[in-house]
Amino acid sequence: MIDDDSLRETPLRPETVAVHAGRADLAALGVHAAPIDLSSTNPLPDILHGGDSYESMANGGHPLPDGGNVYARLWNPTVARFEEALAELEHAESSVAFSSGMAAMTAAILSHTTAVGKHRIVAVRPLYGGTDHLLDSGLLGADTTFCAEDEVSAHLREDTGLVVVETPGNPTLDLVDIAAVVAQAGDVPVLVDNTFATPLLQNPLDLGAAMSLHSATKYIGGHGDVIAGVIACSEPTAQALRRVRAITGALLHPLGAYLLHRGLATLPVRMERQQRSAEHVAAWLAEHPAVAEVFYPGIGDDRGLVPRQMRGGGAMIAARLRDGYAAAEALTGSVRLFTHAVSLGGVDSLVQHPAALTHRPVAAEARPGADIVRLSIGLEDPEDLVRDLAQALARVAAVVR
């Protein structure tokens, strides 16, 4: 990243890494902003060199130097810069970017199960609804056992290829002790969906996880204008993931990679502000008579996981409303600053009803309650957000009573 021995002596702080990572080659290129290489194909110096490079990348390796990029489905320098930057933030050897978070999850499942003769997955709920549905469907040829956090070891078998957890969990912000799950899993790789926490608040690989997955659509992009996924991991794991990406074509477009790389530079300041606002909104909701329960990391966390494995609670909140689905419907229809929409992690605040939308495909016994709404807190002034929720909840009271 920065080629200076004096700076290497003391590890750079995440805020500095976020600005500078993945940009080491820009000075030699004579540019200040990262360039966007939109080439779908690349000139080849000769047949043998091109063929050898193609074979390397098709099997998950890197391109050969001096004209070895060959084809954008296999490698793109703009995507590679973003991958390098994300890996540095996650304290990982490598990262691999995909066309969506679900494409990333699909590659992780395939590369660790059927591709290596393993056919079982152990997963801890709650999970993002798309992930839960994919695992439960068996679509990729692997069978999934869902269990509680402390039951992982009891469900491992010789053909278990992967353990999947998400913490904080979607949508109710459940926390999972990553180190404890890793200890239970033993030699079985653990994948942690780190989307809600981001690399700024949590680094699962430091706790023994094999993979840290992000729906980069969310906080990493941060502006609601790109869909992508990325997995931070060791280089051998990255090679397996890149092989799946090359075969399935789940590549990230270079323009998306550019937007994500640009988004990383402001991620620390966005997360700091959004988290501070979320703390304020969560505390206000907890005192409101229309709210039965607030879900936010640190509230009711008697295990101390927030200071132990996280550096803050993040910017997501879930709330259980006393008057059930009718209240949720009235609230989502009455907000003015919050946008009623799925997704999360952008600069503007969103609210949605998980049971009806993102978690609709989830099995009934694991689906969040109809009385729960999920809020993604943006960069607006928190007092303005509170006023919006106050007027919306007042309308709720008028509708349900």
Q: Which residues are catalytic?
A: 73, 128, 193, 218
Non-local CB neighbours of 167 within 8 Å, separated by 6+ positions:
174, 175, 176, 178, 192, 193, 194, 196, 197, 202
Counted residue by residue, the chain has a size of: 401
CA 398/CA 232 separation, integer angstroms: 48
Side chain identity at residue 48, one-letter code? L
Non-local CB neighbours of 392 within 8 Å, separated by 6+ positions:
330, 331, 334, 335, 336, 338
Q: Are 101 and 220 in contact (CB under 8 A)?
A: no
User: In 149-169, which positions are buried (b, 16+ CB within 10 angstroms) versus exposed (e)?
Assistant: beebeebbeeebbbbbbbbbb
Q: Are strands 316-321 and 372-376 parallel, antiparallel or unpaired?
A: antiparallel
CA 22/CA 17 separation, integer angstroms: 9
Non-local CB neighbours of 243 within 8 Å, separated by 6+ positions:
58, 59, 60, 111
Class of residue 4 by CB neighbours under 10 A (exposed 0-12, middle 13-18, buried 19+): exposed
Q: Which segments of 28-85 are extended strands (E)?
A: none
Residue 55 backbone zone (phi > 0: left; psi -120 to 50: alpha; other: beta) = alpha
As a whole number of Å, the end-to-end CA separation of the chain is 60
CA 364/CA 360 separation, integer angstroms: 9
